[in-house]
Amino acid sequence: MDTLQSTLKNKGYKRIKFKISKTQHLLLKGKINGIDGHFILDTGASNSCVGFEGINHFTLLAADSDTRAAGAGGIGMVTQTSVKNNLKLGRWSTKKLALVIFDMSHVNQALQQYKAKPVHGIIGADILIKGKAIIDYNNFCLYLK
């Protein structure tokens, strides 16, 4: 009997391990534009995003946006955007990553209250859809095609 991992590998999926934080968030390591980062995997986030600090950290070309962000941290948050970025998660990658940039300090403050490490950003449904994601919670793996 084939395992989930071997079945998905045969179908062209790449396996990306994640960890569970003290706050029960799914944490991934990845690279944006070749630079290491730590991310929350958030199936409820419509877009992948980084904090304003990510502009310098990931050498992003940011542009102002009229769109306001909404999420667990509030509504009406000022945003910027950055397009055509490279994202690498494990052996899976894309060269057309569009990012929403906004103030993520509330996210990292909440993590710090639980003595959890801060994150650079969030991997959202845009990547999960693009990669035809399958999440294996039992084995702490994300599969992307």
CATH of domain 13-134: 2.40.70.10
pLDDT at 71: 52
pLDDT at 2: 76
- For residue 91 the two structure tokens come to 């052996």
| Bridge partners, 77 (sequence order) | 69
Q: How confident is the model at residue 27 (pLDDT cuts 50, 70, 90)?
A: very high
- pTM, two decimal places: 0.89
Angle at 53 between CA 20 and CA 95, to 5 degrees: 75
pLDDT at 74 over 60: no
| CA atoms within a 13 Å half-sphere pointing along the CA-CB vector of 130 | 16
What is the rounded average pLDDT for all residues in the chain? 91
The answer to which of 37-41, 63-67, 68-72, 132-136 has the lowest mean pLDDT is 68-72
pLDDT at 57: 98
Dihedral of the CA atoms 129, 131, 134, 140 (nearest 10)? -120
pLDDT at 79: 86
Furthest-apart CA atoms within the chain: distance in Å: 52
Q: How far apart are CA 110 and CA 2, in angstroms?
A: 41
Q: Whose CA is closest to 97, among 114, 81, 76?
A: 81
pLDDT at 141 over 60: yes
DSSP reduced 3-state for 115: coil
* pLDDT tens per residue, range 46-71: 999 999 999 999 999 999 876 655 45
Q: How confident is the model at residue 75 (pLDDT cuts 50, 70, 90)?
A: low
Q: How far apart are CA 85 and CA 44, in angstroms?
A: 22
The answer to which of 36-45, 47-56, 69-78, 82-91 has the lowest mean pLDDT is 69-78
